[in-house]
Amino acid sequence: MSKFGTLEDRVHRKSLLSKKTTAENCIDFFKTGMDLGWSGFTPAGYPKAVPVALADHVEKNNLQGKLKFNLFIGASVGAETENRWASLDMIDRRWPYQTGKDIAKGINEGRIRMGDKHLSLFAQDLGYGFYTPKIDIAIIEVSEILEDGSLVPTSSCGVIGEILMIAEKIIVEVNTGQPSFRGMHDCIVPLTPPNRQPFLISKASDRIGTESFACDPDKIIAVVESKYRDKGRAFTDADATSEAIASHILDFFSAEVKAGRLPENLLPLQSGVGSIANAVVGGLANGPFKNLTVYTEVLQDTMLDLFDSGKLNHASSCSLSLSETPGFPRFFDNWDKYADKITLRPLSLANAPEPIRRLGCIAMNTPVEFDIYAHANSTLVGGTRMINGLGGSGDFLRNGYLKIMHSPSVRPSKTDPTGITCVVPKAPHVDHTEHDLDVLVTEQGLADLRGLAPKDRAQKIIDKCAHPDYKPILQEYFDMAKEECLSKGIGHEPQLFDRCFKMQQNLAQNGTMKIKNWDIKVDLCE
């Protein structure tokens, strides 16, 4: 028996106890080529017992590449599940976002077919049947099964509702290794057009749904007890660079309040993951702003610090993505302090454009790089190598009140002491366009781009955001591009297509983005 109760305590529809079984006994349900839907969003609320048992089965019986599945999950999940599946060649298709060295390697080597999509669109399109008309087997981690058969999620909502809409069979993992999250969720499954209804959310704490997702009990083929905790990402400490970026952003907020463009308690905050996000939230915990709210998709450990500071009133999210330690133990040990201040919503609601725009969210996310005209690349290194995926950043950056992207001006490199510039003449892949972004920030400074024409934006980005070692190189390119394009009457947004990727090409060939000059010879076919 777990200290958090038994399986029998958590399953209130007692007839389903007849379907109680082990994860190992579920293996025979699975056939190669099946479309599978999992709960989970980031390493939070994902099934563990059955996926781990399947991986053990494949490894023990040398079935690598012979038992492969198509995975549809709200976002990334724990490395001990999807990344291990990738290492065992168990994944054919994977939508829409993933994390792990082995799964990224499989994608970039062409062994795993991944599709990328704005997360709010993925949720609704999955329910519409755009990716597959049916999910063969859904594996859902829950806190409780209620009397009506509905499912109470654990630490995330993801796309549970949409998966249940099109699932033919369902395996439920009841997690008794942690407290029940009942009462923390705002569950809703949007109707399909033309019957779709508005999301009437006007503040982060509003709820418009129910505490559980409706589920047809007749579709449940197995109830498995799990005691596995989420393998949340390790907490990323802030460094000098991220703290400098955070300082620029907090100064910007203060100026916006003084100018009357933000209220004294700001507007609902959306923050991505990583050291910069942690530094911004840490700065808010120590800053002058009070009565804050958060409307985001992922809550990290630093949000607990913001609650503890007394400055955060409520946080809405798709997942509680805390670290395995100390995050989740800290949360569970202080359940009464945090639980009623957090609302967990499905992806289709947490990332929906309508409430993001109505609430006036302040969106803050980190790209791989951005160019001098404010196009940002969040997904593909060098324009071709997938990292994780777009995630939900675009949902907020297209619809927020203020759209901020923050990045170091350079990233470490083994071959250049300065590193690789994150400010480039032209982004080799564009996830967020110049039309979506208001503010770009590096440790060098903050560029407020609102109301600026393209050439004015470019100069400000070079002046404020570029590293000193790269600033003269970028300035030379920009001046050259302006001179040539304006002389031809094509200079609204000057680019030289024979040169704009020379820094990236030089990195690939010579290990540095510090080019000696912008000269280039291009032999064109006659």
- For residue 464, the model assigns a pLDDT of 98
Q: What is the CATH number of domain 240-465?
A: 3.40.1080.10
**3-class DSSP state for residue 71?**
strand
- For residue 278, the model assigns a pLDDT of 87
Please say if the pLDDT value at position 522 is more than 80. no
pLDDT tens string 51-107: 999 999 999 999 999 999 999 999 999 999 999 999 999 999 999 999 999 999 999
Contacts of 224 (CB under 8 A, 6+ apart): 20, 21, 22, 23, 26, 49, 50, 171, 172, 173, 174
Lowest mean pLDDT among 173-177, 237-241, 253-257: 237-241
Q: What is the CATH number of domain 7-226?
A: 3.40.1080.10
Residue 104 half-sphere exposure toward CB, CA atoms < 13 A: 15
pLDDT tens string 270-305: 998 888 888 898 899 988 999 999 999 999 999 999
Domain 7-226 identical in fold to domain 240-465: yes
- For residue 524, the model assigns a pLDDT of 47
Burial of 35 (0-12, 13-18, 19+ CB in 10 A): buried
pLDDT tens string 134-162: 999 999 999 999 999 999 999 999 999 99
Domain positions in the chain are 7-226, 240-465, 475-510
Catalytic residue among 144, 173, 225, 297: 297
pLDDT tens string 7-35: 999 999 999 999 999 999 999 999 999 99
Please give the mean pLDDT across all residues of the chain: 95
Share of the chain above pLDDT 90, in %: 93
Cα dihedral 221/226/228/233 (nearest 10) = 40
Please say if the pLDDT value at position 234 is more than 90. no
Please name the residue that has the structure tokens 């947004």. 493
Please name the residue that has the structure tokens 């324009």. 383
Is 297 catalytic? The answer is: yes
Please say if the pLDDT value at position 526 is more than 70. no
**Mean pLDDT in residue range 405-409:** 97
Kindly indicate the confidence band of residue 1, based on its pLDDT and cuts at 50, 70 and 90: low
